[in-house]
Amino acid sequence: MSSPAQIAANQKNAQLSTGPTSETGKAKSSLNAVKTGLTGRTVLLPSEDVASYQAHIDRVFSFWEPCDDTERALAQTVADTEWRLLRIPSLEAGIYALGRLEFKEKFAGEPEAVRASLIEAHTFLTYRKDLNNLSIQESRLRRIRENTSLALYEVQEERRKLINAQVNQAAEALQDAKRAGKPFDLDEFGFEISMDQVEDRVLDWIASRERNSTRPLAAWEQQLRSEVAARLASRKKAA
């Protein structure tokens, strides 16, 4: 997630120029944004709202739930790329707004309905390069988003596989310790998993064995169930 310092830096960069004040100047700033707003390092433009940007970042991070620096960096890239993609429709509208201002005196002898269409067409022909650039940048940004999203998914999938393998290994050891009546210390494994995850896995295995076998549960299985249930009840009461 973007830190307050990063957002402040984006704001500061965006506000280094106070921007144009005339209507034509404001419209031309949209044209400049076509060249810089989709490719520049500054994520926020002067006209954009910091709170809206932060809300957008929060939604992306809530969806991906990154867990380490690598995942957070990838999620940030996805979010910033999507932010730039969301900017494209307003940039296109800005180009046509510029055309309506710049060419408002043209085709004066034509009927008003026809004249509006002629101005739109003239705007397209005049700024065709910039409009085409918008399309090119949109395709580029979509590729970046798709590739980064895929990379983030793969990183998270590898993490999930690693955690699953660690939980299975620790759960097997917990079962063996319970059967033998020996103590179990999860810290000895050096895994970044919780005891709750390990016990839940063992309880899942116990439930599976119970469903698929007629034999009664072993004493250690019943004891583990009771211990976990007691802890859960204690936590619920404390909360």
Count of domains forming the chain = 2
List, in order, residues 6 or more apart from 166 with CB less than 8 Å away. 189, 191, 192, 193
48: pLDDT confidence band, cut at 50, 70 and 90? confident
Q: What share of the chain is helix, strand, coil (3-state, %, to 5)?
A: 75, 0, 25
Q: Is the pTM of this model over 0.95?
A: no
Encode pLDDT of 168-221 as tens digits.
999 999 999 999 999 999 999 999 999 999 999 999 999 999 999 999 999 999
Contacts 24+ apart (CB under 8 A), 5-11: 7/44, 7/50, 7/53, 7/54, 10/42, 10/43, 10/44, 10/50, 10/53, 11/44, 11/50
Encode pLDDT of 26-44 as tens digits.
455 544 544 445 666 668 8
Structural domain including 28 reads 4-161
Mark whether 222 and 188 lie in a shared domain.
yes
Of 112, 144, 161, which closes a domain?
A: 161
239: pLDDT confidence band, cut at 50, 70 and 90? confident
For residue 150, is it left (φ>0), alpha (ψ between -120 and 50) or beta?
alpha
Mean pLDDT across the chain: 87
